[in-house]
Structure 1
Amino acid sequence: MTELSAARALVEAIGRGFEEFEPPAVANAVDGPLGWPGYDDQRARAADRSGAAESVLCGRAQVGQLPAVLIAFDFAHLGGSVGQAAGARIAAAFGRARELRLPVISLVASGGSRMQEGICALRQLQEIARACLLTRRDGIPHITVLRNPTTGGMWAALSAAADVVLAERGAAVAFGGSRVRSATETGEAFTAEGKFADGQVDRIVDPAELPPVLTELIRLLHPQRSSSLPAPVPKSLASGEPPSTGWEAVQRARSADRPRARAYLDAYFSTRSEISGDRAGGRDEGMLCGFGEHEGRTIAFAAQTGTANTPPGFRTAARLIRLADQLGIPVLTLVDTPGAANDAAAERGGVGPAIAELFTAVADAQVPITTLVIGEGGSGGALALAAPGRTWITADAYFAVIAPESSAAILKRDPAQVPDLADHLRLRPQDLVDLGFTRAIAD
């Protein structure tokens, strides 16, 4: 065997003091459960070549200042494939994470299920999926890293089920590996970058970035850092007194000089890490989601940036709120949109069901949600992100059942009447406080 397997070198680069878990006992028939000719010899050669006794290495280490469970694949050992022994190791590692209440980091490089063990290998996907589910139900975070390559069952049953998905730049990532899909099926769709563009990966990382990125995520998502207290209301970055008319409120909210979501997030969090994508094929850069540290506590956030949000944006926000609820982390939402996208692409993408999904996630959340309206509050696309009974507003924002211009169109009024309609809609910050929709104008 080589002196140090690739998997052990990786875990030692990421965490300090790695302690391997005792592998579960698995019955080993000659040449495996199928009696595959020469399989024992293949395994022996793989172990000698890779320096690893199996395709996965599982144990505990300090990642930064906090402990975590690490599951590392060694592609040099039979292509990182998973059979009965590897599957048992992975499931047992998730079990230890639940016992110890430690987050899980899976470092995946795998071609999928081990062919020489047939259906006995394939069924490990069910065991791994169940282990992931039980861990999720216990509020234990799972962060995965897609390395080169990540294909087949380990992408579908393990990595795609993780709470946060990182991918190494340039990694091949696909359900069908290059040897089993059509030779004509190539391109970005089968890469880490393609998966990021399609909303299936949260962040692309270079190998050198991996240790600090994982350290930050573990610190933010570690179960011991959760708190049941609501997120404090951010300080307002608005200038001046509340607007005197409804139309002034609309104009101030639409001003290019008004502070936007990133300015509020920068002022509120000392550090933050974003998640991206709806895991269903889409991203919306107009919806910023992730976790940050505010005064020593982890707070989740979903923030609109002033654009008309698309279906992936609403689904990503719903995903963020469900994840925060699972982990027991309070949520901050920042509302700022003229309304949901309503073009043909949005309709084909399911904008109605996506907004419904976000309404449901907010209504179902057991953790407290704090909302600050920082700009335009345009109809249902804005309301879906607002917390009932826990919404504040800044002096340069408004909230309305519909934009004044659209109101004029619906009522068949002359465009010159738009400013008057803005007053009739009672959309100013002080109006919204009087009507009981918002609790106060933020200081």
Structure 2
Amino acid sequence: MTETLPAPPLPTPAAGPTDWVLCTACDAMVYAKRLRRGAGVCPECGHHGPLTAPERLAGLLDEGSVRLLPIEHVDGDPLGFVDSRPYPDRLRDARRRTGLQEAVLCARGRIDGHPVVVAAMDFGFLGGSLGAAVGEAITRACEVAEAEHTPLLLVSASGGARMQEGVVALMQMAKTSQALRRLDEAGVLTISLVTDPTYGGVAASFATLCDVIVAEPGARLGFAGPRVIAQTIGETLPEGFQTAEYLLEHGIVDLIVPRAELRGALSRLLAVAGGQACLTDESPEVVVRDPAALPERHPWDAVRAARRFGRPTTLDYAHLLLEDFTELHGDRMAADCAAMVCGLGRLAGTPVVLVGTQKGRTPGELARRNYGMPTPAGYRKAARVLRLAGKLGLPVVSLVDTSGAFPGVAAEEQGQAVAIAENLRLLSGLPVPVVAVVTGEGGSGGALALAVADVVLMCADAVYSVITPEGCASILWKDAGCAPRAAEALRVDARSLLGLGVVDGVVPETEHGDHLAAAEALGAALLTSLLPLSRMDSASRIERRHARFRAFGAPTPGANP
């Protein structure tokens, strides 16, 4: 049993000269009470100043919900380390100054009523360094989260491994990493909140191994510090190097959230992870499954309709259909592809994972999002979020509207073919229900990389093909002007594809520009498709998915060889 404790109070600033404090970022004089009301965020420049571990718990967890974990801190000085002072003296001084036993504080609590286990680090205790006691506390928090199947939130603030404990501190990186692996196997959501600064052994272990990485604005994260890097390689580092904003652009963090909005952002993530499926039979059947029920049209007309500017995008559908939608960013390797959208939300109350291509709605956005053509980073981001769906047992909704994967030189250098192939394999064995919908263009392997699904649907004005009509015409007729003829030969329209069995159903289109009606139709189609899939066990569902794609091109049973 653990004692229920009130949320730790924020420290009260001393009177007199400390009524005013100096912002370390902009040098502005700020009234201390105003700074406290803003949770340590400078009202002049927005700099997010450091918080203690008790302040973190007080700011993140519901009042009255905090229960500190009873973690025994065993003092150790494995090396008998002495620099200008013996290591035990430094420990005693840190405890006296901070009131903490170690550089991390662990607790159970709730965020907007959602249960969570939290481990919050304190940079004021020996630079938040990772030693044996910190590693033990983090590992213990992981074990409690695993035993209680409760999401884990790790709040990092560290200069790295604790030098005074030598290789014993180094071993804590492995110890905490394997604890997080067990949470992966148990299907428990893990969230990392990166605060400034987070470096070294913490950055290279539990701070970056979580399912979702959230960073405060300006927070720095890296393995080696900028001074060490600059001295080692003798180069001028890029502006903003290792800051949260730089890392978001380079695909390392999922979200940058200001301190005032952290509780809301974390609550949305926890709501999805802790939600229960509530699919019902009440959704109307809107999907057309008989090709004869669809009007005949020239396939080129379908191509033009699919490309028509102003059709709903993946993000339009996300915001119209999903509650508590949180977009996730980055491939955790090098980049965040804006042509690929991934995130978590709830469809009619049921938690789902969304992946989809995003073209954009303005000329500027079209260019920024690469006209909906994903790079390898986009497919790797999708793969990362698909694996998260498998871990948490969440159904996947995939929305496809792309002329194909980006064909540039950089994409080839970064392994475009490999990224697509990996997604095909991943989706073929994903243990959760997968429904894919071609909402506009479905171009080649770039589209198929999101459409290896249990159920494949397409909108009535959408098209799906091995190549664009223009590309086919250029290759076979040496004239891109023969695109209408190629579209007819390729049979890219919904009626033809439903007849071929490539898609399982067609979602009727609404009046062009009526995004709400389009979302309602798509939402009904998704719910009626997901319901029977949710009632199947994983093995049967995967075998059914395998058989679906195995049948394409296979001999008809009983046919002559």
Structure number, greater radius of gyration: 2
Between the aligned partners of 2:285 and 2:439, the Cα distance in structure 1 is: 10
Q: Does 1:260 align with 2:260?
A: no
Q: Which of 335, 340, 348 is the aligned partner of 1:282?
A: 335
Amino acid at match of 2:317: Y
> What is the deviation of 1:235?
7.7
> What is the deviation of 1:389?
4.2
When residues 185 and 22 of structure 1 are mapped into structure 2, their CA distance, relative to the original with a 3 A threshold, is: farther
SS of the residue corresponding to residue 195 of structure 1 reads helix
Amino acid at match of 2:78: P
- In the alignment, what sits opposite 2:543? none
Between the aligned partners of 1:281 and 1:387, the Cα distance in structure 2 is: 26
- In the alignment, what sits opposite 1:300? 353
Amino acid at match of 1:278: D
Cα deviation digits, residues 127-169 of structure 1 (max 9, x gap): 0000010011100010001100011111111121110001110
When residues 143 and 35 of structure 1 are mapped into structure 2, their CA distance, relative to the original with a 3 A threshold, is: same
Q: Which of 238, 245, 248 is the aligned partner of 2:298?
A: 245
Cα deviation digits, residues 5-31 of structure 1 (max 9, x gap): 8101111211121111111453x34xx
Cα deviation digits, residues 41-66 of structure 1 (max 9, x gap): 10111112222210011110011111
- In the alignment, what sits opposite 1:55? 103
SS of the residue corresponding to residue 305 of structure 2 reads helix
TM-score (norm 1): 0.93
- In the alignment, what sits opposite 2:499? 434
Q: Does 1:114 align with 2:162?
A: yes
When residues 11 and 226 of structure 1 are mapped into structure 2, their CA distance, relative to the original with a 3 A threshold, is: farther
- Percent identical: 35
> What is the deviation of 1:189?
2.7
The 8 Å contact of residues 434 and 454 in structure 2, kept in 1 or not, is answered as: no
> What is the deviation of 1:287?
0.7
Q: Which of 37, 41, 54 is the aligned partner of 1:8?
A: 54
Between the aligned partners of 1:227 and 1:153, the Cα distance in structure 2 is: 42
- In the alignment, what sits opposite 1:34? 79
Higher relative contact order (CA 8 A, sep 6+): 1
Q: Which of 189, 197, 210 is the aligned partner of 1:162?
A: 210
- In the alignment, what sits opposite 1:151? 199
The 8 Å contact of residues 398 and 427 in structure 1, kept in 2 or not, is answered as: yes
SS of the residue corresponding to residue 127 of structure 1 reads helix
- In the alignment, what sits opposite 1:194? 246
> What is the deviation of 1:204?
0.8
Amino acid at match of 1:292: G
The 8 Å contact of residues 79 and 165 in structure 2, kept in 1 or not, is answered as: yes
Cα deviation digits, residues 264-294 of structure 1 (max 9, x gap): 2222112300100101101111111000111
Moved more, 354-363 or 241-250: 241-250
SS of the residue corresponding to residue 477 of structure 2 reads coil
Q: Which 5+ residue runs of structure 2 have no aligned equivalent?
A: 1-8, 12-50, 288-293, 360-371, 509-561
When residues 242 and 89 of structure 1 are mapped into structure 2, their CA distance, relative to the original with a 3 A threshold, is: farther
Aligned residues: 433
Amino acid at match of 1:14: L
- In the alignment, what sits opposite 2:268? 216
Between the aligned partners of 2:160 and 2:147, the Cα distance in structure 1 is: 27
1:7-406 correspondence to structure 2 within 5 Å: 7-16=53-62, 17-24=65-72, 26=74, 28-29=75-76, 32-37=77-82, 38-183=86-231, 184=235, 186=237, 187-222=239-274, 225=276, 244-306=297-359, 307-406=372-471
Between the aligned partners of 2:445 and 2:334, the Cα distance in structure 1 is: 23
SS of the residue corresponding to residue 230 of structure 2 reads coil
When residues 179 and 115 of structure 1 are mapped into structure 2, their CA distance, relative to the original with a 3 A threshold, is: farther
Between the aligned partners of 1:125 and 1:102, the Cα distance in structure 2 is: 22
- In the alignment, what sits opposite 2:520? none
- In the alignment, what sits opposite 2:484? 419
SS of the residue corresponding to residue 279 of structure 1 reads coil
The 8 Å contact of residues 334 and 372 in structure 1, kept in 2 or not, is answered as: yes
Q: CA RMSD in A?
A: 2.2
Between the aligned partners of 1:205 and 1:95, the Cα distance in structure 2 is: 27
Q: Which 5+ residue runs of structure 1 have no aligned equivalent?
A: none
The 8 Å contact of residues 73 and 102 in structure 2, kept in 1 or not, is answered as: no
Between the aligned partners of 2:475 and 2:227, the Cα distance in structure 1 is: 57
